[in-house]
Amino acid sequence: MSPYRDNQKQKVLVVDDQPINLKILGQALAGDYQVLVASNAEQALQIAILQQPDLILLDIIMQGMDGYQTCRALKQDSRTVNIPVIFSTSMDSEADEVKGLEAGAADYITKPYNLALVKARVRNQMQLKKKTDLLEKLVSLDGLTEIPNRRNFEQHFEVEWRRAQRSGLPLSLCMIDIDSFKQYNDNYGHGAGDICLQRVAQTLASTAKRSGDLVARYGGEEFVVLLPDTELEEASVVSERLRQAIESQAIEHKYSSCAQVVTISAGLASCQVQIGMERSQLMEEADKFLYEAKQQGRNRVSSGIYSPDVA
């Protein structure tokens, strides 16, 4: 991490294996931005995921993973795919610039630094990022609950599915349904139903707080939680925590078939994603477990591992 910090400012991550370059860029940008620094690709990827910078200034020639590889890794991860990257390098041929842009970079600056030019290009990318973030928020959030909508979920699911195929890491999916919600609407009114949906959505979103987890409204009173890099045991803990969080809100529901307060049923499915599997298979499995939870009395989590024969 960097000493240049101001939580009110946009964040820029400077990645370079030469301390002098980190110092030059850090000091040049610290007046306008919160500056984070990393001296290698592994550190940069970790900071990018945890800190979610608005922009990354990335050196190309580094020990271990070079800038091209690092940029591709950023663009292949749903958690960092939308962070713009400006390459910083002493290589200034057209072929080098084309290679950088093809790797996913938004811009290119050369060494030795012209700091006025660096600041101008960073400023341009930051302004563009603000506009892009606003537009993305408008199209990717559910209008009522203000959490990610189904479109947003589908995009993340596709990216995480491909990543799980490449990495061999597990992927878990939890389908959630508010118990007896029709009876809630019928007896308390649709206005109260909307407020209930908002409270449930915000409780789910604030409870599933791990980096990479995504809570989305799937439709109606259904929600979905995507849990990357998560095996069944850990996903079960998260899912049960979600169920308890909703129940502890103590939203009155005298017309529920299973409790006096609003509750949820959840179906959880986990898998090791294999070549030949389809995302819809995991969705169908989670939905099957959701049906099982309802059949067993609601206000519970039903779960299992999905391991189809894809040979």
Percentage above 70 pLDDT, the chain = 96
Q: State the Cα angle at 100 between 99 and 104, rounded to 5°.
A: 115
Would you say residue 311 has pLDDT above 60? Answer: no
Would you say residue 309 has pLDDT above 70? Answer: no
pLDDT for 96 equals: 74
Q: What confidence tier does 181 reach under pLDDT thresholds 50, 70, 90?
A: very high
Are β-strands 55-59 and 34-38 bridged in parallel, bridged antiparallel, or unpaired?
unpaired
Which tens digits make up the pLDDT trace of 86-138? Answer: 998 887 777 777 887 888 899 989 889 999 999 999 999 999 999 988 887 78
pLDDT for 90 equals: 83
φ, ψ for residue 182 (rounded to 5)?
-60, -45
Which tens digits make up the pLDDT trace of 255-283? Answer: 999 999 999 999 999 999 988 899 999 99
pLDDT for 148 equals: 95
Q: Lowest-confidence range among 16-20, 57-61, 210-214, 284-288?
A: 210-214
Give me the mean pLDDT over the 24-39 stretch. 96
pLDDT for 78 equals: 81
Q: What confidence tier does 187 reach under pLDDT thresholds 50, 70, 90?
A: very high
Most confident of 20-24, 133-137, 210-214: 20-24
* Long-range contact set of residues 184-193: C-beta below 8 Å, sequence gap at least 24: 184/253, 184/255, 184/256, 184/262, 186/255, 187/254, 187/255
Mean pLDDT for all residues in the chain: 92
The residue from 221, 222, 234, 278 that is catalytic is 221
Would you say residue 3 has pLDDT above 60? Answer: no
Q: DSSP states of the chain as a string?
A: --S---TTS-EEEEE-S-HHHHHHHHHHHTTTSEEEEESSHHHHHHHHHHH--SEEEEESS-SSS-HHHHHHHHHTSTTTTTS-EEEEES--SHHHHHHHHHTT-SEEEESSP-HHHHHHHHHHHHHHHHHHHHHHHHHHB-TTT-SB-HHHHHHHHHHHHHHHHHH--EEEEEEEEETTHHHHHHHH-HHHHHHHHHHHHHHHHHH--STT-EEEEEETTEEEEEEET--HHHHHHHHHHHHHHHHHT--B-TT-SS-SB--EEEEEEEEE--TT--HHHHHHHHHHHHHHHHHTTSSSEEEEE------
3-state secondary structure string across 41-88:
HHHHHHHHHHHCCCEEEEECCCCCCCHHHHHHHHHCCCCCCCCCEEEE
What span, in angstroms and rounded, lies between the C-alpha atoms of 42 and 44? 5
Does 221 qualify as catalytic in the annotation? yes
Q: What confidence tier does 19 reach under pLDDT thresholds 50, 70, 90?
A: very high
pLDDT for 211 equals: 82
Would you say residue 2 has pLDDT above 70? Answer: no
Would you say residue 6 has pLDDT above 50? Answer: no
pLDDT for 1 equals: 41
Q: What confidence tier does 158 reach under pLDDT thresholds 50, 70, 90?
A: very high
